């Protein structure tokens, strides 16, 4: 049956009330006795949207994985950036990650829970990533996974799952995900908004919709941990578990049931958005970061904003940024030059010269790709992805070429922000400071990076309201 847009207040207001105090206590009680390292594989840098004082590693060598396992915190992230990979690159990278995690776990004697964190609008290499992880860990390390838990709920981004339908908030309306621009993604497009049907679609029918196990909001709000645990106990053969959620309390109740069956010997992989890692790791809430926490008042250089995302929301946010009174220089980057030999290189050189001058003058440079999508003469999804990667690499090379250290960097878009962090800045390990706005994380760059000790704002393309980019830049520029 076709899903339709619905009024947000009507949908959420019809649900039984959540009880955050009871659910937090419930989760704490069921967590007792669980000694696991929570490892989050993040397919772009935006997955740390809900956490703070947590480490992010930008590689998956045994050395880096061991550092994560040796930390006191129960949770760490590995940035895979696999959303910019081809299918074969993704498969190989996840084989390597599974081998490194399995080996370090065995050597240290520390068991783990593995989360494949991906886009809350359902884009990414699914089911390739979790199937590859499962195959390696079962074949090489003797683990056995009973099922896979899917939970794309992400409050800060306005993503809700109700009645198995995954919604994307647009103002006062909830739009079924399959009817949004995200479902039309050239590489990761899909049709289904019902997550049971989405699983069937993405797995080519190997996991039929009617065999998925659904955890309803009604069960979660009733605090029916026993009933949910019984459902999880019956999952086998890597069956799919759909978690409905419209409030963080729903996640807490579900994880209470998860921890109960985990202690009883059941094993699951997670495919989730950013809500699950925060609750799994027991990360507390933290106020939004302030100007004084982010930028030294003695700083005289300007900052730089780099925009690669093409989604409608980003374009609207750019237009709103133009209304700011902050001293800014607009530097367009013509992405269409990917079609001409050497065109992107020339565009990058020109943008870098302008950005350097702007930063030295204490202004904010805004480097942004042209808003028209590049039209390639092909229908091949991997060729289209490769063109996007080339454009992103050229845009982010502006940061790599800078000789002036900016006061701050804001990168808009998943692939763009990953390339800035790993390639342009050379970050191997960063600390998540927190969020500058809901769902918008900030890294503090490590000593090994191009610009050590600098706030790096990772701004997802599909998060925030129309005014959010302007608000973020103004917070960084002004006290």
Share of residues in the chain with pLDDT > 90 (%): 85
Q: pLDDT by residue (tens digit) across 313-365?
A: 889 999 999 999 999 999 999 888 888 889 899 999 999 999 999 999 999 99
Query: Residue range 372-397: average pLDDT?
Result: 76
Query: Residue range 401-414: average pLDDT?
Result: 94
- What is the pLDDT confidence band of residue 1, given thresholds at 50, 70 and 90? very low
| Whether pLDDT at 88 is above 80 | yes
d(CA 161, CA 264): 28
How far, CA to CA in Å, does 364 sit from each of 78, 273, 305, 326, 433? Answer: 31, 32, 7, 8, 22
- Tokens representing residue 161 in the block: 């799952």
d(CA 233, CA 228): 9
| Residue 76 backbone dihedrals phi, psi, to 5 degrees | -145, 160
H or E element in which residue 251 lies: helix 248-263
d(CA 201, CA 188): 12
> Among residues 318, 312, 319, 213, which one has the least CA distance to residue 258?
213
pTM score, two decimals? 0.90
Q: pLDDT by residue (tens digit) across 23-77?
A: 999 999 999 999 999 999 999 888 899 999 999 999 999 999 999 999 999 999 9
Q: pLDDT by residue (tens digit) across 234-273?
A: 999 999 999 999 999 999 999 999 999 999 999 999 999 9
DSSP structure class, residue 154: B
> Among residues 339, 325, 333, 371, which one has the least CA distance to residue 351?
333
Q: Three-state SS for 182?
A: helix
């Amino acid at each position: 049956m076709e899903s339709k847009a619905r009024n947000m207040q009507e949908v959420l207001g019809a649900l039984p009330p959540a009880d955050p105090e009871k659910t937090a206590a419930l989760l704490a009680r069921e967590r007792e006795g669980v000694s696991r390292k929570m490892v989050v594989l993040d397919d772009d840098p935006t997955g740390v949207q809900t956490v703070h004082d947590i480490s992010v590693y930008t590689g998956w060598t045994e050395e880096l994985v061991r550092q994560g396992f040796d930390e006191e915190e129960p949770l760490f992230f590995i940035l895979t950036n696999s959303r910019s990979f081809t299918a074969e690159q993704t498969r190989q990278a996840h084989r390597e990650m599974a081998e490194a995690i399995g080996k370090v776990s065995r050597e240290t004697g520390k068991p783990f829970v593995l989360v494949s964190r991906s886009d809350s609008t359902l884009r990414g290499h699914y089911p390739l990533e979790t199937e590859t992880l499962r195959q390696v860990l079962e074949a090489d390390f003797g683990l056995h996974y009973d099922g896979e838990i899917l939970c794309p709920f992400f409050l800060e981004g306005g993503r809700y799952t109700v009645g198995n339908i995954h919604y994307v908030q647009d103002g006062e309306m909830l739009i079924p995900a399959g009817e949004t621009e995200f479902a039309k993604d050239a590489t990761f497009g899909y049709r289904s908004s019902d997550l049971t049907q989405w699983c069937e679609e993405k797995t080519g029918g190997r996991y039929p919709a009617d065999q998925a196990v659904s955890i309803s909001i009604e069960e979660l709000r009733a605090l029916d941990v026993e009933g949910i645990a019984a459902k999880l106990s019956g999952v086998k053969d890597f069956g799919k578990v759909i978690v409905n959620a419209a409030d963080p309390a729903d996640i807490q109740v579900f994880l209470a049931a998860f921890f109960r069956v985990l202690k009883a010997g059941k094993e699951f992989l997670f495919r989730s958005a950013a809500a699950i890692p925060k609750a799994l790791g027991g990360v507390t809430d933290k106020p939004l970061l302030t100007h004084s926490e982010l930028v030294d008042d003695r700083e005289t250089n300007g900052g730089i904003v780099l925009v690669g995302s093409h989604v409608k929301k980003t374009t609207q946010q750019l237009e709103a940024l133009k209304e700011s009174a902050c001293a800014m220089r607009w530097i367009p980057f013509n992405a269409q030059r990917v079609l001409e030999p050497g065109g992107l290189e020339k565009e990058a050189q020109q943008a870098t010269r302008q950005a350097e001058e702007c930063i030295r003058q204490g202004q904010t440079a805004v480097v942004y790709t042209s808003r028209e999508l590049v039209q390639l003469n092909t229908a091949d999804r991997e060729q289209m992805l490769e063109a996007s990667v080339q454009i992103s690499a050229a845009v982010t090379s502006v940061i790599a070429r800078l000789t002036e250290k900016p006061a701050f960097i804001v990168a808009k878009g998943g692939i763009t922000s990953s390339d800035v962090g790993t390639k342009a800045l050379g970050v191997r390990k960063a600390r998540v400071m927190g969020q500058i706005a809901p769902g918008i994380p900030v890294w503090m760059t490590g000593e090994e990076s191009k610009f050590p000790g600098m706030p790096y704002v990772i701004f997802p393309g599909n998060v925030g309201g129309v005014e959010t980019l302007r608000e973020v830049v103004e917070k960084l520029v002004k006290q």
